[in-house]
Amino acid sequence: MAELKTRKTEASVTDFLNGIADERKRQESFTLLELMREATGQEPKMWGANIVGFGDVHLRYETGRELDWFPVGFSPRKQNLTVYINKGLTDYQPLLGRLGKYRTGKSCLYINKLADVDTGVLKEIIRQASMAGIFYSQ
């Protein structure tokens, strides 16, 4: 079985975010950091070189694969802010309808800029997802 490359590290979240060259993306990342900290009640940790995760969950898949991961997190990617909702987005459809402008993947929200979304709705999605992550096992 392949080993997971993205693991929790001791790297500084603040140093990582301060290293973002684009001023708007850096500021929005710090805003998202505080929003997630408030919504989850957790302190952020770096996962790999470029993901900020909140909380810890041990996942067990039907295949027998197990891994440690985070219920919610984000990464300031070149094209957008990627918000990870690792339980998936299915349970959040009513809230997503009120969120604003975004795109989705299976477990990700892709947000071009925070001004495009209702941050109160985003905070509620993150809060619910972080609580669901406590009980999440695939």
Express each pLDDT in 89-118 by its tens digit: 999 999 999 999 999 998 999 999 999 999
- pLDDT category, 60, cuts 50, 70, 90? confident
Residue 2 lies in a domain: no
Residue 37 lies in a domain: yes
Does the pLDDT value for residue 16 go beyond 90?
Answer: yes
Residue 6 lies in a domain: no
Residue 102 lies in a domain: yes
Give residue 101's domain range.
13-135
Count of residues making up the chain = 138
Does the pLDDT value for residue 136 go beyond 80?
Answer: no
Does the pLDDT value for residue 35 go beyond 80?
Answer: yes
Residue 7 lies in a domain: no
Question: How many whole angstroms separate alpha carbon 74 and alpha carbon 84?
Answer: 6
Angle at 8 between CA 57 and CA 125, to 5 degrees: 50
Query: In CATH, what number is assigned to the domain containing residue 117?
Result: 3.90.1150.200
